[in-house]
Structure 1
Amino acid sequence: MSQWKEVLEEAAQYAVGYLDGLPDRRVGSSATLDELRETLGGELPERGESPRDVIASLARHADPGVVASSSGRFFGFVIGGATPAALAADWLTSVWDQNAGLYVIGPAASVVEETAGRWLAGLLGLPDGVSAGFVTGAQMANFTGLAVALHEVLGKAGWDVAESGLRGAPPVRVLAGRGRHGTIDRALRFLGVGTGAIVEVEMDDQGRMLPSALGDALKLSAGPAIVCAQLGNVNSGALDPVGQICDLAHAHGAWVHVDGAFGLWAAASPRLRGLVDGVGKADSWATDAHKWLNVPYDSGLVFCAHPDAHRATMGARAGYLVHATEGERDALDYGPEHSRRARGFAVYATLRALGRDGVAELVDRCCALAARFAERLAASGRVEILGDVVLNQVLVRVPGADADARTRELIDRVQRDGTCWMSGTTWQGKAAMRISVSNWSTSEADVDRSVTAILSLI
């Protein structure tokens, strides 16, 4: 027991020091690849070391290679931090070390996921009774939703994909916007459908799918079809008119899957809820709690309006397993994994700590800070803002001659400077700096400090 105490105290001491230092810490990594390999690489030791020494060494040598993605000045990709309740619950999750796949070996984990899933469905405007699965991230949430969709649309066409696979199956069309996220294509590759099944639907200048173009595409064939709507374009933050999309798709017998990795959280805000009007009409939804809910990684979520189909697609049975009895819930029926971490504890703790009002405030505040970024940068006259700032995404470009090269150079300078960290992208053929505001701890001072740094580096 003394070893437990010593090693956990060592880890806790480092963790608290790291978190205390975040406001002033350089955001990007400060170590080179060679330096990290020098301190963290090498051969496996012949003799073991004390756990306390291992943790002390790991903390010391890994720290320079840690990107402060939990910092209030990290704006690269849509990555939230971890609220105090989420982080503490995640520590307990590791201590308890529950296998959340079966109720019998993790009853508390099962009930917590059941409860958190129900809370989230209500918060995100989804129908009563939807099923929920906790997966690694938005990639596996999209994979799971599309797997259920494939099972159902082929089943309605008289084909049992679970038994017969895809060889000889009726072709399935997947209608998705040109601005879709790459996880849709990747999920289709994993599922064996292939990206050749995608029918690209035109979008407007902000990245929203055009309902008229979808209607025309749906009319081209009466075969099995899945429509993928997107809530939160990865560059512009734009949201597809999901209600109209659902009406059109269902009129043609198509399944609607919503990729709402971060944009689905707009439903939690009374101010923004109108942007996702009709979202509850869809058949499946994917989102990610590590984004706007600010829980640690490994927190994707998939919801399905057809629980029986969800379980039929994902479930597994074996004689050596002790399966749930009436009223109990086995998580392995709702996702592709069997043995897995009890992800729901951190989500549950965060929802209780924030409450409905707190989640709405978090979403609204991030959007307001994104608008502040755009306003202050545009006011300088030295950069231009591409498109509208709809949610938490801002696209910045250095205008003039050699704009692409100058924009990319600015991104590199900002990342090397360390005050803040943004990623680059290409939007409508133009290089741009992509600012994503998703962290619960980001303040107006963080934005203003970052704006000053960016402008000083042009």
Structure 2
Amino acid sequence: MDELALAADADQRAHAYLAGIGKRRVFPDAAALAQLAAFDEALPQHGHAPADVLRLLDERGSPGTVASNDPRYYGFVIGAVLPAAAAAERLMGAWDQCASTFDNSPAAATIEKIAARWVLDALDLPRDAAVGFGTSATACTLVCIAAARRALLERKGWDFDNDGLDGAPPLRVVISEMAHITVKKALRVLGFGMKRVIAAPVDEHGRIDPAQLPPLDDMTIFCVQAGEVNTGEFDPFAALIPRAKATGAWVHVDGAFGLWARASSKRALTDGIDGADSWTTDGHKWLNTPYDGAMAICRDARAMSAAMNSDAVYLSGAHDAQKNLTLEFSRRPRGIPIWAALRSLGRSGVREMVDRHCAQAERIADGLRAAGFEVLNRVVLNQVLVRAKTDAQTVAVREAAQASGETWFGGTVWQGRPAFRISVSSWRTQDEHVDQLVALLARLLADRGA
């Protein structure tokens, strides 16, 4: 089979997979999981035909996938992939571009620059900020914190690039008690010991309490969040960020999914957020782009490009070349699917999608309360945090729902007790799907003696 025939075969198999959305189990059953054993083989001495490789991947791999592209999936704030973004990803694969600089790919460099401009416009952040398209919120947080550290030390006259951290003026980091694990991971990777990171106390909704804010100064990196992972709540930026900036602290916003509220009727939740120094957000969550696409945004473009610069004698680039704004030197053009999503949705489409998901979350909360569940959060965004009458019922209902194949969402722990978290973020999810979810959970709870 030649290259074009193989591509056509892959397209046909992909079409068949997409045609099954909404019809297959959301989580694979035991038989499908057992088929994955077919991949457990020794490295072949002699290669297999490409068509055989593709056939194995589809016939044994496809049944073992989680249908996160399904309207009935509510786990981990994972959006389905918009058709325009998926199609762009398919064409990108054929292009096979190394999107480091303009010289590597004029098309990629041009489109990603426009995508960056559109992201800043959609989120109403400083228009001269730098935008790096990285692999994940974790990697993008690492980029922003690295830029913050270097910039704060530079203000004290310390040459971080040449002298490193040995003997450098000490830095402080203040995060929320409810900070996401990816923020903590980025800090650990950068050498900030967690015992030295200061946790700011939060209120009953999981927001940093301004009255209990630890002291900040001009050697502090202060991390706040837009969209707490369980409750969906936002730190009170208007009360926190001006205080932090007055001391000279660097303020970073973890907005993996919540930052997109700024492009919706929920914008008031983000008041004051544009006063920060850096922001991170994902594409694969609320913008519904493919995985491996996130954004690191930095008000001081020079600080970001200086921290991430990777110019070499054989390949230099502009200060805003993506290799000088992200961790990767050789990289795929992750900004292109983000450009495609924004061009296909437009400003009004982004707003409509985010607004619809927030309304659907409220619809789920109302239905579950009526069914006898306890909704633990105020449902200010797209997150519904739920508990049954007893911990045993909570766990049993979640496990039964996951095993049913009719839906999937994950468990969590809130204030020391089991709960489950329903995240509405798929462009495919309609009101009929959320009503089906409520009916399923009501039945499962009734079956367990509510």
TM-score category, normalised to shorter length: over 0.9
Cα deviation, 1:407-444, whole Å, max 9, x if unaligned, reads: 11221111111100010001111211100001000011
Cα deviation, 1:314-359, whole Å, max 9, x if unaligned, reads: 01121122x236xx84211101110011111111111110000000
Offset of residue 182 of structure 1: 0.8
Greater mean alpha carbon deviation, residues 138-147 or residues 160-169: 160-169
Letter in 2 for 1:417: S
Quote the Cα distance in structure 2 between the aligned partners of 1:31 and 1:40. 16
Cα deviation, 1:80-136, whole Å, max 9, x if unaligned, reads: 110100000000111101111122011111111111111111111201201000001
Scaled by the length of structure 2, what TM-score is found?
A: 0.96
Tell whether the 8 Å contact from 2:218 to 2:247 is kept in structure 1 after alignment: no
Does residue 136 of structure 2 align to residue 143 of structure 1?
no
Residue 191 (structure 1) aligns with: 190
Alpha-carbon distance change, 32 to 250 in structure 1, aligned in 2, over 3 angstroms: farther
Match of 1:435 among 422, 426, 446: 422
Does residue 208 of structure 2 align to residue 218 of structure 1?
no
Does residue 273 of structure 2 align to residue 279 of structure 1?
yes
Secondary structure of 1:394's aligned partner? strand
Quote the Cα distance in structure 1 between the aligned partners of 2:232 and 2:401. 22
Quote the Cα distance in structure 2 between the aligned partners of 1:106 and 1:218. 47
Does residue 40 of structure 2 align to residue 46 of structure 1?
no
Residue 369 (structure 1) aligns with: 360
RMSD: 1.5
Match of 1:293 among 283, 287, 292: 287
Secondary structure of 1:163's aligned partner? helix
Greater mean alpha carbon deviation, residues 251-260 or residues 47-56: 47-56
Quote the Cα distance in structure 1 between the aligned partners of 2:375 and 2:292. 33
Match of 1:331 among 322, 325, 339: 322
1:163-312 → structure 2 map (5 Å cutoff)? 163-214=162-213, 217-218=214-215, 222=217, 224-269=219-264, 271-312=265-306
Secondary structure of 1:196's aligned partner? coil
Tell whether the 8 Å contact from 2:22 to 2:71 is kept in structure 1 after alignment: yes
Letter in 2 for 1:384: E
Tell whether the 8 Å contact from 1:127 to 1:280 is kept in structure 2 after alignment: yes
Residue 448 (structure 2) aligns with: none
- Unpaired runs of at least 5, structure 2: 446-450
Tell whether the 8 Å contact from 1:135 to 1:301 is kept in structure 2 after alignment: yes
Quote the Cα distance in structure 1 between the aligned partners of 2:121 and 2:194. 33
Secondary structure of 2:198's aligned partner? strand
Match of 2:351 among 355, 360, 376: 360
Tell whether the 8 Å contact from 1:131 to 1:306 is kept in structure 2 after alignment: yes
Quote the Cα distance in structure 2 between the aligned partners of 1:48 and 1:389. 53
Greater mean alpha carbon deviation, residues 158-167 or residues 278-287: 158-167
Write out the 4+ residue segments of structure 1 that deviate beyond 6 Å after TM superposition. Answer: none
Letter in 2 for 1:89: A
Letter in 2 for 1:333: N
Offset of residue 36 of structure 1: 4.1
Secondary structure of 1:434's aligned partner? strand
Tell whether the 8 Å contact from 1:79 to 1:439 is kept in structure 2 after alignment: yes
Letter in 2 for 1:213: Q
Tell whether the 8 Å contact from 1:31 to 1:65 is kept in structure 2 after alignment: no
Letter in 1 for 2:424: V
Does residue 371 of structure 2 align to residue 380 of structure 1?
yes
Letter in 1 for 2:5: E
The share of aligned pairs that are identical, in percent, is 43
Residue 19 (structure 1) aligns with: 18
Quote the Cα distance in structure 2 between the aligned partners of 1:289 and 1:344. 9
Letter in 2 for 1:366: H
1:75-114 → structure 2 map (5 Å cutoff)? 75-114=74-113
Greater mean alpha carbon deviation, residues 284-293 or residues 404-413: 404-413
Greater mean alpha carbon deviation, residues 414-423 or residues 148-157: 148-157
Does residue 406 of structure 2 align to residue 419 of structure 1?
yes
Quote the Cα distance in structure 2 between the aligned partners of 1:453 and 1:57. 35
Does residue 388 of structure 2 align to residue 398 of structure 1?
yes
Quote the Cα distance in structure 1 between the aligned partners of 2:31 and 2:313. 51
Quote the Cα distance in structure 1 between the aligned partners of 2:272 and 2:248. 17
- Unpaired runs of at least 5, structure 1: none
Tell whether the 8 Å contact from 2:32 to 2:63 is kept in structure 1 after alignment: no
Offset of residue 46 of structure 1: 2.7
Offset of residue 204 of structure 1: 1.0
Quote the Cα distance in structure 2 between the aligned partners of 1:212 and 1:332. 41
Offset of residue 237 of structure 1: 0.2
Match of 1:350 among 341, 345, 352: 341
Tell whether the 8 Å contact from 1:87 to 1:295 is kept in structure 2 after alignment: yes
Does residue 382 of structure 2 align to residue 389 of structure 1?
no
Offset of residue 196 of structure 1: 2.6
1:110-121 → structure 2 map (5 Å cutoff)? 110-121=109-120
Greater mean alpha carbon deviation, residues 230-239 or residues 53-62: 53-62
Secondary structure of 1:419's aligned partner? coil
Letter in 2 for 1:79: I
Alpha-carbon distance change, 34 to 71 in structure 1, aligned in 2, over 3 angstroms: closer
Letter in 2 for 1:152: A
Secondary structure of 1:103's aligned partner? coil
Letter in 2 for 1:242: F
Cα deviation, 1:195-220, whole Å, max 9, x if unaligned, reads: 23311111111111112222xx126x
Letter in 2 for 1:315: N
Scaled by the length of structure 1, what TM-score is found?
A: 0.94
Alpha-carbon distance change, 149 to 329 in structure 1, aligned in 2, over 3 angstroms: closer
Quote the Cα distance in structure 2 between the aligned partners of 1:122 and 1:223. 30
Query: How many equivalent pairs are there?
Result: 445
Cα deviation, 1:22-76, whole Å, max 9, x if unaligned, reads: 1111101224697244211112233322212221221000012100011111101
